[in-house]
Amino acid sequence: MGNPFEEESQDLLILDSKGIAGPAAVETVMNAKKIGQEQFEAFTRECLVDTTKAVDDPIPRNKLKVFSTSTPRSKSKGQQQLISVKNYHDFFAGMYIGCQTRDGNLEEFFVMRTRHGTLRWGKPIHWYQE
């Protein structure tokens, strides 16, 4: 593909990836002017003609999904590790406080380990008795 502005096609091109946008994105872009015009007419009618709203009232935002995907992105390994560390932190903090308030044996608490002796990223906590 050459210059996207010299194309004679009616397709909506994504400039950074040079792909063709889906039908939902095309419909959103084609209707954006109409949506804005309707919002402008409602604002002038309510604020200037009928004076039912103040001029400085906020205008609702149009959250048009143009090029966003509906599928959630997978989290990177670093993000998964951070979430796992936070979960372990919360778990151990709760266990530590529970041992203190219930007269638990803290030495026995710190002897407990995960199955492999280390934190396993992205895996649930499995305990065993020594």
pLDDT tens-digit profile of 2-26? 666 676 777 777 777 777 777 777 8
Instruction: State yes or no: pLDDT of 41 exceeds 90.
Output: yes
CB-CB contact of 14 with 21 (8 Å): yes
pLDDT tens-digit profile of 51-78? 888 888 888 888 887 766 555 567 788 8
Q: Give 34 or 106, the one with higher predicted confidence.
A: 34
CB-CB contact of 57 with 47 (8 Å): yes
Instruction: State yes or no: pLDDT of 126 exceeds 60.
Output: no
Q: What is the mean pLDDT of the chain?
A: 75
Rounded distance between C-alpha atoms, residue 110 and residue 100, angstroms? 13
Residue bearing tokens 């009232």? 57
- pTM metric for this prediction: 0.41
Q: Give 107 or 93, the one with higher predicted confidence.
A: 93
The reported pLDDT for the residue numbered 16 is 73
The reported pLDDT for the residue numbered 73 is 67
